[in-house]
Structure 1
Amino acid sequence: MSFELHRTVLTGDTPGTATDLYWYTAGPADAETRVHLQAALHADEQPGTMALHHLLPKLREADAAGQLKAQFTIFPSVNPLGLANYSLRHHIGRYDVETGVNYNRRWPDLYPHIAQDIAGKLTDDPKANIATIRAAVAAWIDSQQPGTAIQRLRLAVLKSAVAADIVLDLHCDDDSLKHIFTSPELMPCLQDLADWMGVAATLTAEDSGGGSFDEVLPSLYRKARLANPDHPIPSGAETATLEYRGRADSFDAIGQEDAAGLYGFFASRGLIAADPGRKPTAAPAPTPFEATEVLRADAPGLLAYRVELGDRVSKGQPIADLIAMDGPEAFVARRPILSGTDGFVLSRVMGKYVVRGGAIAKIVGKDILPARAGGYLLED
């Protein structure tokens, strides 16, 4: 058996403090394929952790039966530092309270750090080129001298991810249907993942503007490919962010369903020698993230939604009413907030008091929105 629990101690940034990062490995260490799974990078998003809680016993049983054909590395709660960000009975697990930086932003642009190291080492062998790039990144990580606990955590996680062929980062939205974020060049190869998840949408972007974790490796291989056109450099990792509904959706039954979907995906890929189960219904084809409207409030107020998740809407249709909380008609006046595109409602916010500029919904359309093209695509 190779199913094993590991513990990494992250020395704290203040006297006498340290944090434990727990993670698992399963499957043969010499397997040709490596899988990296992590959940709760935003530490206040628990549905992914619940899914991995139910997936781990399945992997342990498959490992004991000799059915694992890949090596799995699993971080069920990859950000223990964020678990400690608790203030006034509220968990602030999305942001580093010291710097204010979103834990899933500003991950490093790797290619500039290794461009010189791989110069002259690339060949006509695609697999060898991937190995060269991975070795260069691993060496760069090992050369770093992290100054803070979060820097140490990021480097440890990144070292695992860069060695993997499949990298899945499990998140959730606020109140949402299941969906995926990934890079356009990884589709349609990841369509089977979308099918097994049963997502409502797969949203693609080369660069969403925030330096998200799931974009680090696709960007690395894309930039290496563009800089070295005479050498074959495929995408070295299938990487995606999996959004498992909303933050309140951490329940056993849902977690079991999500774990079964992940298990079926891996089994259908031949990474677990087991029956994947019934073939899932095909999920919608991917759409550019630039075609999704992030609808924002243009004033503070109290939201009264007119639509449910999954509802199809038309451009100009009221999505919600905004009830005034100040001014001459405070708490009496209300006015509609209108959709700016045709599509369906993918997500809403749980907190109905909103400030000016606050995101209140995502509406997935098919046509790229001029205001979104080439801009910052994320909500924060």
Structure 2
Amino acid sequence: MQRIDHVLPWNCPGTERRLSVFRFGNGPCKAYIQAALHADEMPGMRVAVELKRRLRELEAQGRLTGVIELVPVANPIGLGQLFQATQQGRFEFASGKNFNRDFFALTEAIAPALDGCLGADGPANVRLIRAAMQAALDVLPAPTSELQALQRLLLKHACDADVVLDLHCDFEAVVHLYTLPQQWTQLRSLAARLQAGAVLVTEDGGGSSFDESCSLPWLRLGLQFPAATIPLACLAATVELGGMADTGKKQAAASAESILAFLAEQGLIAGDW
């Protein structure tokens, strides 16, 4: 396991916040999983604890056949926002912005550089597009807020992943997922394993949420360059792990195993579930 710590800028004097990313395994494929982008949604953090423990075991057993990056606390800013003993993790106090909106639009940033470079070789196109995504994020001007810096870091770790899972919860709900309609077939197994009560699909939910900021560029680039072969190379979903109170160990462990089983189906872990 490799731990990567990013210090967020624009802190108050005498304070410091860090985003911690835990990287497991190695190989040609990559999965990225983050929890609690809305920091007051605890079930995702609880599942991430179980995932981290199990990924360390699987790595020690030599069963990881790809890279899996895990961010158990995707929003250290919101985690520190308390008002009269109540955590407020959905909106940033400083700006009023939703932590899961307004992620950087990769399509518009990289399309000019890709014009004339894409052809019929799908895997080669994927490599070119991912390199362009990373380059576009690298050359952005310095972030003007702590929130902007956080969002860029999360997107930079996720934009080159084959699978992206953003773990959330609702106030009171069954497990449910959000994804692109074109990717529903690939996600059926995950929904079934998690015993999801619903899956909501749309090509663009609006607001530039995290999962769509990872998956939509591939769909939009395919429309912009119809003569090129551009697969939907990032399978992304928001996974709502039930309600706020669904933090029990047994349920969290079961959800973690369901996610690991799905990653095994995607070629990232060896063995059967």
TM-score of the superposed pair, with normalisation by structure 2 = 0.96
- The equivalent position to 1:26 in structure 2, one of 19, 24, 27, is 24
Q: State the shift of 1:13 in Å.
A: 3.6
Which residue does 1:154 correspond to in 2? 151
Which residue does 1:311 correspond to in 2? none
Distance in 2, matches of 1:156 and 1:172, equals 22
Distance in 2, matches of 1:161 and 1:55, equals 17
Which residue does 1:256 correspond to in 2? 253
RMSD: 1.2
**1:42 and 2:38 aligned:** yes
**1:54 and 2:58 aligned:** no
**8 Å contact from structure 2 (residues 103, 152) kept in 1:** no
Q: State the shift of 1:20 in Å.
A: 1.6
Distance in 2, matches of 1:102 and 1:80, equals 14
**1:101 and 2:97 aligned:** yes
Distance in 1, matches of 2:15 and 2:113, equals 37
**1:143 and 2:139 aligned:** yes
Which residue does 2:67 correspond to in 1? 71
Q: State the shift of 1:248 in Å.
A: 1.5
**8 Å contact from structure 1 (residues 11, 17) kept in 2:** no
Q: State the shift of 1:107 in Å.
A: 1.5
Which residue does 2:6 correspond to in 1? 8
The amino acid of 2:20's aligned partner reads: Y
Structure 1 or 2: more helix by fraction: 2
**8 Å contact from structure 2 (residues 24, 69) kept in 1:** yes
**8 Å contact from structure 2 (residues 155, 214) kept in 1:** no
SS in 1 for 2:39: coil
SS in 2 for 1:22: strand
Of stretches 156-165 and 10-19 in structure 1, the one that deviates more from structure 2 is 10-19
Cα deviation, 1:277-327, whole Å, max 9, x if unaligned, reads xxxxxxxxxxxxxxxxxxxxxxxxxxxxxxxxxxxxxxxxxxxxxxxxxxx
**8 Å contact from structure 1 (residues 25, 72) kept in 2:** yes
Q: State the shift of 1:206 in Å.
A: 0.8
**8 Å contact from structure 1 (residues 175, 246) kept in 2:** yes
Structure 2: gaps (5+ residues): none
SS in 1 for 2:68: strand
Distance in 2, matches of 1:135 and 1:271, equals 21
Q: State the shift of 1:9 in Å.
A: 1.3
- The equivalent position to 2:124 in structure 1, one of 118, 128, 142, is 128
Q: State the shift of 1:109 in Å.
A: 2.1
**1:227 and 2:213 aligned:** no
Structure 1 or 2: more strand by fraction: 1
Q: State the shift of 1:220 in Å.
A: 0.6
SS in 2 for 1:176: coil
Among the aligned pairs, what percent are the same residue?
36
Distance in 2, matches of 1:49 and 1:102, equals 19
* Larger Rg belongs to: 1
SS in 2 for 1:188: helix
**1:163 and 2:164 aligned:** no
**1:243 and 2:252 aligned:** no
**8 Å contact from structure 1 (residues 109, 219) kept in 2:** no
1:211–1:192: structure 2 CA closer, same or farther, 3 Å change rule?
same
1:143–1:270: structure 2 CA closer, same or farther, 3 Å change rule?
closer
The amino acid of 1:198's aligned partner reads: Q
- The equivalent position to 1:195 in structure 2, one of 192, 196, 218, is 192
SS in 1 for 2:69: strand
Q: State the shift of 1:6 in Å.
A: 2.4
**8 Å contact from structure 2 (residues 32, 157) kept in 1:** yes
**8 Å contact from structure 2 (residues 104, 152) kept in 1:** no
SS in 2 for 1:121: coil
**1:208 and 2:211 aligned:** no
1:269–1:221: structure 2 CA closer, same or farther, 3 Å change rule?
closer
Distance in 2, matches of 1:7 and 1:193, equals 29
